[in-house]
Chains A and B, each alone.
Chain A
């Protein structure tokens, strides 16, 4: 019998049109996802790891929707068509009924998901630069589907089956599906999953729970492979063991439990559920009334505008309340509140290991939900509410009544529209209320104007989406088609899905606009101009759709669309036709405006066009690849910034010189086509050709430029910008803050390698030669005889920069003069000596704080409301300056400026020569009130202000002072040394226990980055990946500091500065290593090599620990421990002596994590360095107090893949 029932289920599901749509969508999705993966990494996209990862992505993206689409049909269909009484009165058993439906659901969604795998396979076969063997690839796709996706389908099916079974409503199933989708993504973000683009190292407990409960096993999967190298990821399959096995079992058990629950609770009963307000009219009673009935009297109805208005108001109230008062709306609202509250709270009281505590400001709250979660959430649920609204009469079987009544279409239609608009209005209002309340609780300032602006910024796009959805429903044949179509359109509008099918241009995503994020310095100004432009356009289209929707209003059943089209004119009347013509003209005009701003002013280029442009450039100009070019030695500019108009104009005079041994005949000047160059002139040269498409000027010198000779060059450049393509981080001109980084727009000389296509697979596709591989450091040294001086790009710099009258302008060098002219502020800056040619022009509405330290004028430019941490910032600048002056080299300039930058730029800190930017959320808005008492238990936050400031100031030496060779490992000399400086400054201020927190964070980030990396790990001296140069570098430098001593490191760094600062030949990491070895003991030199040239990952562990009380002041502690090498890659020659490592052991009176917070209660009783190996070693110590914890490598001086076994509570063994 089960088989026959299953056969019926298959026939039923497969005959629905949603089956065919889902089939097509699955194959397409799988194929497109596969197609869009980039082939250029060490991890093969057809290898088992990558395919499994893609399956995980597919699973969480499509399965919630897939299963909910069919779950309704599986179990709610009986209720929907009212066939329940027939079925329940047959003798079918609960088991057969429930299991056949459930299994049918599982089988059909599994089959459909399998076709997504087929889509992936097809795409792989079409990608032609892969060596593809079919059978292993099929296996590599099937295995994760079987292992990861299928149990997830089983669990998801059980959950949605249960929801459908007990709610008896399709909409509950859909809502549950969407909630699953959103919650799963939230969990992926919060646990720092590899699947998400923005890694956050989240709470470890949450990660553990998630890896046990994840329905698709992604967390356990990534945990299993986190230490695998790319080569291993390309050949090994995931195995069913450990946490993954536990997770799979747990998932299946959970599904079973849910099914059993359904089985127990379900009965074949169809009792009508009546609420207290409903009562089935008892006709028998009314028959007594019939004896004293009043006679029937007719009342004359009225017609006219007033009637339509009252009908509209009444109908609107009905529609609105009918939507709000449902369980679905309540559930959605509750769901949103839970997410919102948890997001805001985690913003105000973050719990990461290194999180600062921000002020509980409106801007902090907004950053948790305003630009992504709220719009997406509302968009999704608008689709539902629009469907409910549009088909309400049909659903309740009331359409005959309403449509036969004399109320005009205009009232009905607009009542629905307005009622639908009130839904996002309600949601926004609730959000504002909750957010403001939370702010109050956390003691922050509420900025009501910003909250009120949410109605504009978040509400208007919803108006468009609401109108679109209603329109689609009006022309759809039934509710399901309408809902699917509007869901598809909304998905295209709010996600980059459109890019994959060629609909890249922003005007294809209805209701979309460039990202809007808020900053105290500039508000929404970075993109609010574009928002307004786009909204005007979308709203005008909405008006057109409103008119069409009204004109095609579906009154009465079964009036086909074609029929209704012929009635439009009469529906509209003359007014309507006029409106329609005006609206369409207006939208064309506004659309043209958006197009103009996007394409002409903002220079929009589709992906393909951008690629073709690069290919074209290379084909045309590669011939100049070896053309020798002059260098810039002096730059003088007049830069005029117009923040209110979002534009700048600049006149520049360059002095060029010929650094080569040969003379130059031609000079090729490469300019950026996105700004407007005029009057490009070179002294003594004539313009041979100008290529506007690529911005290339080819000059022919009248007389050859001899070696060492100089020439003047001048040009003007101007730019008008807008926010239509979003914000460009280093080219932003808005009232309140302007930042123009010259390197982006200033002319370059010779063949411009930045214009080449970087991707090897694309180059092959377009017939371009392979790019020369990055030479290894050793090769490069050999080729250039160790002298990379030609990498240098240093220049004298002088500028007169002007800005609006309420702002101050900043650039590099000493402020020679400042004045006012024509209602604008002018500033004249000049450097005394050359600086690196990384120049910027800045302006903002700032207050300035000054301090003179070591003859240097330290300045902090800050927003008038953000003065809380300014003094502390100056303290950090001062301490770092003094330290570096003393230990590294003398800071060469008279000024050092630090500017507060808007958060929307997307970076926390950036250092330019003599000028630094630190984001408003990178320190200015941290709450350091608990910071003063270093041992306060309330201090869970970290002093990021001090840390970041020290780091950026350090870059004045590491990067702008010592400008290393542009070769492998060059980044180490910039970032790793800055991390070192940051560490020693923090230790100087707060002590070693405090710095431990930072090291722990960096240690975690290294492993995290390594797990996500798609490249083979390079040794530190050649590294450039972030998790290496920042995190591994930090651990390495601190470990070396502990081993060699701070004085040794500083001596080495001083030598580096002395021997390799400009204009001396630039340094490489080998020079750093040599310097370190110079000043260290011979026995320690090996350590330098190990950290910089090898990759060593260990597993240090305490096997057992116990203590005995010998007397009140004497305790004996026995510890057994070992140090295993789990992963060693040695370059050069083998170094590990008998696999032994020097490791610290600590005996403490508290857990090492509490060293800072517990103050004097927490103490290190003993700390000792041991030589440990693979073999377990047992040792004994005596300490003077009762120990509570024993810790191996408590200060993170080693890379230890498993820190769980590093701390142990010793067992008390009593003396006998």
Chain B
């Protein structure tokens, strides 16, 4: 179990990335939603012991990982948002090297796990090619393979499906679902659908704070009856933005469709709709800004 208490981080240029953040994660898949700049990656990097916060506590399985980072690293699998690889090193060699770095000293066991992971990520037939020649999706799969080396108790994946095609995304989701049966998987993303599909527990983060946390269906219940929809013309949008709490605006067949958060029907012409995760997301971050 992972407990984060009163985490604070301000960068040297004055940006406050983490603002008194509190979070608890039990086993299984946990989704962390938030816009760019919310502080998700800062949080992920702090959890992965790559960054120190200004103040706060992070307890994982009874140990404070800020004072004892090695206790986290011993059980950690981390897939960062962006990473590169050494040129001219094959997938199997590089994975093997990471396995050594993760303490898999026994050669037989190590080779076994490396091969198994390569197969699981569908990279086995490419194992002798150099990783630097892989496409984006293959590289991402390699990343998850190295994150799964050893037997991590917590896997942190930061924006893992950005840049993957739909088929790869599906495959990736299945893999994550498989892992999450026994470990904590923290999935940080701005793709609402991914959280929707995978996560029994989630949080929404904005401006360095957790603005909503809980099981998705429970959070959505809070919004029932408060989301209204109307189709309007493009010129009217600005006017509505000034007078109502417009949480989203999109184009459908050339016309603007707006969603509004309101306890009761705002105006003639609005129809109530079933809130979905996207509405939850937009309403949460708009409230955070206001």
Using a CB–CB distance below 8 Å, which chain A residues touch chain B?
1, 4-5, 8, 11-12, 15-16, 77, 81-83, 85-93, 268-276, 278-285, 287-288, 291-292
Q: Find residues 157-212 in chain B having any chain A CB closer than 8 Å to their own CB.
A: 206-207
Q: Does B52 contact A (CB under 8 A)?
A: yes
A82 x B83 contact (CB < 8 A):
yes
Question: Closest residue to B132 on the A side, CB-wise?
Answer: A81
Question: Closest residue to A77 on the B side, CB-wise?
Answer: B86
Residues of B within 8 A of A92 (CB): 101-103
B51 x A270 contact (CB < 8 A):
yes
Bound Cα distance A11, B97 (Å): 11
Task: Name the residue among B50, B51, B242 with the largest chain A CB count within 10 angstroms.
Answer: B50
**Which of B13, B35, B73 contacts A284, CB < 8 Å?**
B35
Q: Does B261 contact A (CB under 8 A)?
A: no
**Which of B15, B45, B97, B103 contacts A270, CB < 8 Å?**
B45
Bound Cα distance A81, B130 (Å): 14
B 265-290 to A, binary, CB cutoff 8 A, 1 in contact else 0: 00000000000000000000100110
A283 x B35 contact (CB < 8 A):
yes
The binding surface of chain B is classed by DSSP as: loop
A91 x B289 contact (CB < 8 A):
no
Bound Cα distance A969, B27 (Å): 98
Residues of A within 8 A of B48 (CB): 85, 89
Residues of B within 8 A of A271 (CB): 50-52
Which of B74-82, B121-129, B216-224, B250-258 faces chain A?
Answer: B74-82
Residues of A within 8 A of B50 (CB): 85, 88-89, 268-271
A12 x B289 contact (CB < 8 A):
no
Q: Does B49 contact A (CB under 8 A)?
A: yes
**Which of B101, B206, B288 contacts A91, CB < 8 Å?**
B101
B 80-115 to A, binary, CB cutoff 8 A, 1 in contact else 0: 101111111100010001101111010000000000
Given A89-B49, A287-B289: A278 touches B13 (CB 8 Å cut-off): yes
Given A86-B98, A270-B51: A275 touches B13 (CB 8 Å cut-off): yes
**Which of B15, B70, B85 contacts A282, CB < 8 Å?**
B15
Residues of B within 8 A of A270 (CB): 45, 50-51
Residues of B within 8 A of A86 (CB): 78, 80, 83, 98, 143, 146
The smallest C-beta distance from A1083 to any residue of chain B, in angstroms, reads 84
Residues of B within 8 A of A285 (CB): 289
Q: Find residues 38-66 in chain B having any chain A CB closer than 8 Å to their own CB.
A: 38, 45, 48-52
User: How many B residues touch A, CB cutoff 8 Å?
Assistant: 48
Residues of B within 8 A of A89 (CB): 48-50, 73, 76, 78
Question: Closest residue to B52 on the A side, CB-wise?
Answer: A269
A281 x B84 contact (CB < 8 A):
no
B 124-156 to A, binary, CB cutoff 8 A, 1 in contact else 0: 000000000000000000010010000000000
Residues of B within 8 A of A88 (CB): 49-50
Given A89-B50, A90-B102, A279-B15: A288 touches B289 (CB 8 Å cut-off): yes
Question: Closest residue to A17 on the B side, CB-wise?
Answer: B88
**Which of B36, B38, B87, B97 contacts A8, CB < 8 Å?**
B97
A268 x B13 contact (CB < 8 A):
no
Given A1-B100, A1-B105: A12 touches B86 (CB 8 Å cut-off): yes
Using a CB–CB distance below 8 Å, which chain B residues touch chain A?
11-15, 35-38, 45, 48-52, 69-70, 73-74, 76, 78, 80, 82-89, 93, 97-98, 100-103, 105, 143, 146, 206-207, 238, 241-242, 285, 288-289
A90 x B87 contact (CB < 8 A):
no
Bound Cα distance A315, B106 (Å): 56
B84 x A82 contact (CB < 8 A):
yes
Bound Cα distance A272, B88 (Å): 27
Question: Closest residue to A276 on the B side, CB-wise?
Answer: B13
The smallest C-beta distance from B245 to any residue of chain A, in angstroms, reads 12
Bound Cα distance A285, B288 (Å): 11
Residues of A within 8 A of B70 (CB): 91, 93
Bound Cα distance A287, B281 (Å): 14
B289 x A284 contact (CB < 8 A):
yes
Residues of B within 8 A of A274 (CB): 11-13, 15
Residues of A within 8 A of B36 (CB): 283
A284 x B101 contact (CB < 8 A):
no
Bound Cα distance A274, B9 (Å): 14
Task: Name the residue among B37, B74, B101, B207 with the largest chain A CB count within 10 angstroms.
Answer: B101
Bound Cα distance A291, B243 (Å): 12
Residues of B within 8 A of A279 (CB): 13-15
Bound Cα distance A1078, B206 (Å): 109
**Which of B35, B143, B241, B285 contacts A291, CB < 8 Å?**
B241
- Beyond A11-B93, A291-B242, 12 extra complex contacts between A and B, CB < 8 Å: A1-B103, A4-B100, A12-B86, A82-B84, A83-B85, A85-B50, A85-B83, A91-B70, A91-B103, A283-B36, A284-B35, A284-B285
B12 x A81 contact (CB < 8 A):
no
Residues of B within 8 A of A90 (CB): 73, 98, 101-103
Closest 5 CB pairs of A and B: A82-B84, A81-B84, A90-B101, A89-B78, A85-B80
Residues of A within 8 A of B13 (CB): 274-276, 278-280
Given A86-B78, A92-B101: A284 touches B45 (CB 8 Å cut-off): no
The smallest C-beta distance from A295 to any residue of chain B, in angstroms, reads 10
Bound Cα distance A288, B289 (Å): 8
Question: Closest residue to A281 on the B side, CB-wise?
Answer: B37
Residues of A within 8 A of B78 (CB): 85-86, 89
Bound Cα distance A270, B87 (Å): 21
Bound Cα distance A278, B11 (Å): 11
Bound Cα distance A92, B103 (Å): 7
Question: Closest residue to B51 on the A side, CB-wise?
Answer: A271
Residues of A within 8 A of B74 (CB): 91
List 15 A–B pairs whose Cβ atoms lie within 8 Å, in order of A's numbering. A1-B105, A81-B85, A82-B84, A86-B80, A87-B98, A91-B102, A91-B103, A92-B101, A92-B103, A268-B69, A269-B49, A270-B45, A274-B12, A275-B12, A284-B38
Bound Cα distance A91, B52 (Å): 17
Question: Closest residue to A286 on the B side, CB-wise?
Answer: B37
Bound Cα distance A1041, B106 (Å): 85
The smallest C-beta distance from A750 to any residue of chain B, in angstroms, reads 70
The smallest C-beta distance from A5 to any residue of chain B, in angstroms, reads 7
Bound Cα distance A270, B85 (Å): 16
Given A86-B146, A89-B49, A89-B50: A282 touches B102 (CB 8 Å cut-off): no
